[in-house]
């Protein structure tokens, strides 16, 4: 089992135990439902308020120690889907606190005083992200929807509306739960060249397929991403420029062709492009 798949299994087991329900089979969640989960897990209150960070970065949510327990604060200045995700993420932290001291049935304030800054622990952060995804886009339900929709980036908007999640979080889930090898790439504006795109990040699922490496300096060569930046709608291209493919036996196979779909989202500064490469579509 891959490290990611292991994390998902752990998150599901933790959630099922703590909430006494199999979250992998539940439907989309509202903010109010998640707030109730947080209260059930020992939070004192869930509030939305404006939040600012000294460095002007965006703070989406946090646990705050207060008299009588712990407050979950969510930034009211961010969009609804990010508020939902942020609350799900904080529920992850509540679960970690609980797990660290399973003998306590309620979470006490003293404990938070010492531990509320755990936002800096990268392992815990990663785990909270996985918990948030399992909670908001439960595997079974999400996969059901996925089966009834085209295996394409065109399904992202639809699914993000159903589950109340952001475009990016939804696209990651589509790739993660896909039964075929998929590579997701996120692009942003290249500040130096108008209309050009640069690689932000890339993830792929753990389904066996060719291991693909894209060299960022050549990332402009994704023709579809560039077209999707300036035009509306889905661009489907045969990309030849994934740089290098090594197969299971490490044999070098040069420059195969993959079907890659690209769509642009958002406007102006918040515009980005997502590309999904279908790694089984190789023609030799």
The site for Zn ion (CB under 5 A) is made up of 119, 128
How far apart are CB 72 and Zn ion at their closest, in Å?
11
Indicate the residue among 92 and 209 with the shorter CB distance to Zn ion: 92
CB closer to Zn ion, 128 vs 225: 128
The least distance separating Zn ion from the CB of residue 93, rounded to whole angstroms, comes to: 6
Token pair, residue 21, equals: 């329900």
To Zn ion, the closest distance from the beta carbon of 238 in angstroms equals: 40
We find the least distance from the C-beta atom of residue 43 to Zn ion, in angstroms, to be 14
With beta carbons less than 8 A apart as the criterion, state whether 241 and 136 touch. Answer: no
3-class DSSP state of 243: coil
CA 204, CA 277: separation in Å to the nearest integer?
9
* Helices assigned H by DSSP within 56-179: 80-100, 109-115, 122-136, 139-147, 155-163, 167-176
CA proximity to 108, closest of 117, 120, 97, 99: 97
Residue nearest Zn ion, CB atom distance: 119
In terms of CB distance, is 128 or 136 closer to Zn ion?
128
Based on CB atoms, which residue is closest to Zn ion, 124 or 139?
124
Q: Report the nearest approach of Zn ion to the CB of residue 60 (Å).
A: 9
Instruction: Name which of 220, 279, 276, 223 is nearest 246 in CA terms.
Output: 279
State which residue, 35 or 128, has the beta carbon closest to Zn ion.
128
Is the CA virtual torsion 21, 23, 29, 31 positive or negative?
A: positive
């Amino acid at each position: 089992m891959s490290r990611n798949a292991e994390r998902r299994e752990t998150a599901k087991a933790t959630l099922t135990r703590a909430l006494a329900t199999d979250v992998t089979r539940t439907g989309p969640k509202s903010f109010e439902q998640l707030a109730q989960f947080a209260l059930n897990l020992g939070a004192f209150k869930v509030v939305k308020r404006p939040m600012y960070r000294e460095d002007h970065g965006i703070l989406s949510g946090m646990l705050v120690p207060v008299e009588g327990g712990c407050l979950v604060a969510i930034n009211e200045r961010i969009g609804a889907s990010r508020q939902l995700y942020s609350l799900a993420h904080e529920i992850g932290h509540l679960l970690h606190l609980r797990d660290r001291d399973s003998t306590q049935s309620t979470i006490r304030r003293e404990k938070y005083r010492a531990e509320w800054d755990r936002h800096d622990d990268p392992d815990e952060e990663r785990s909270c992200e996985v918990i948030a995804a399992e909670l908001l886009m439960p595997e079974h339900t999400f996969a059901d929807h996925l089966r009834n929709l085209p295996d394409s980036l065109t399904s992202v908007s639809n699914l993000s509306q159903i589950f109340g999640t952001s475009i990016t979080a939804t696209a990651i889930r589509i790739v993660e739960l896909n039964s075929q090898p998929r590579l997701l790439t996120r692009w942003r504006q290249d500040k130096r060249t108008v209309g050009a795109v640069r690689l932000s990040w890339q993830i792929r699922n753990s389904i066996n397929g060719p291991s693909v490496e894209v060299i960022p300096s050549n990332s402009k060569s994704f023709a579809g991403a560039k077209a999707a930046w300036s035009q509306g709608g889905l661009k489907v291209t045969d990309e030849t420029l994934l740089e290098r493919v090594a197969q299971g036996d490490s044999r070098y196979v040069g420059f195969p062709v993959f079907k890659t779909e690209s769509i642009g989202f958002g406007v102006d500064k918040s515009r980005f492009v997502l590309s999904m490469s279908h790694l089984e579509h190789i023609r030799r």
